[in-house]
């Protein structure tokens, strides 16, 4: 989907996603000391970015949907936290080296060559001892999980992601994790890739 399609999806008063942060984001990052600047890449309506700002991080929320970023800014204002929104295409956007203490990539489902570029730019944008966290739909979800994109070109491989970050980082966690999903058809289990790393 392009930016215009996402703008259309986000248009309207209701949130497309829940207001609370993704469960893995909260589990992995909730215990970190908010030491400075964080970036949420593909921030959407800001569920994770606003939550990080509430913890005390100085957060940049980057997304190519202007409509989503407007909703993120409204959420931040409603919760009384500061959030800087950056309207940009992540396949083109690059932070200055060593800008951030934390980089989050949650459910940015891109073809591998584009994702690899985003991963490389993200890791270079993080300072030494800073944290990187990626979570998204795992390739195994297509056959063994539930929901999510079905195009194998945009599904994550833990090993591939770890391979990009390993030259720069110490890997804290790199595995396929399960996520419960409840919808009109009942209870299901989705499979996500999770990679957490600390910049050397």
Strand ranges (E), 138-168? none
pTM of the model: 0.92
131 bridge partner residues:
102, 198
Mean residue pLDDT across the chain: 93
**C-beta of residue 178 within 8 angstroms of C-beta of residue 172:** no
- Domains assigned to the chain: 3-10+20-173 (3.40.50.150)
The pLDDT tens digits for 140-165 are: 999 999 999 999 999 999 999 999 99
**Per-residue pLDDT for 132 more than 60?**
yes
The b/e string for 96-125 (b: 16+ C-beta within 10 A; e otherwise) is: eeebbbbbbbbbbbbeeeebebbbebbbbb
């Amino acid at each position: 989907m392009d930016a215009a399609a996402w703008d259309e999806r986000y248009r309207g008063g209701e949130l497309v996603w829940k207001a609370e942060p993704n469960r893995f984001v909260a589990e992995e990052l909730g215990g970190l000391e908010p030491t400075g600047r964080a970036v949420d890449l593909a921030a959407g309506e800001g569920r994770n970015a606003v939550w990080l700002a509430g913890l005390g991080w100085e957060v940049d929320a980057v997304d190519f949907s202007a409509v989503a970023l407007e909703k993120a800014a409204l959420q931040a204002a409603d919760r009384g936290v500061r959030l800087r929104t950056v309207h940009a295409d992540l396949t083109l956007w690059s932070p200055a080296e060593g800008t951030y203490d934390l980089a989050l990539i949650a459910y940015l489902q891109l073809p591998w060559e584009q994702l690899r570029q985003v991963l490389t730019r993200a890791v270079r944008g993080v300072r030494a001892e800073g944290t990187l966290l990626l979570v998204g739909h795992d390739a195994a979800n297509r056959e063994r999980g539930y929901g999510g994109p079905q195009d194998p070109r945009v599904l994550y491989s833990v090993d591939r992601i770890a391979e990009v970050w390993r030259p720069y980082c110490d890997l804290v966690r790199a595995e396929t994790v399960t996520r419960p999903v409840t919808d009109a058809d009942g209870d299901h289990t989705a499979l996500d890739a999770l990679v957490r790393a600390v910049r050397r």
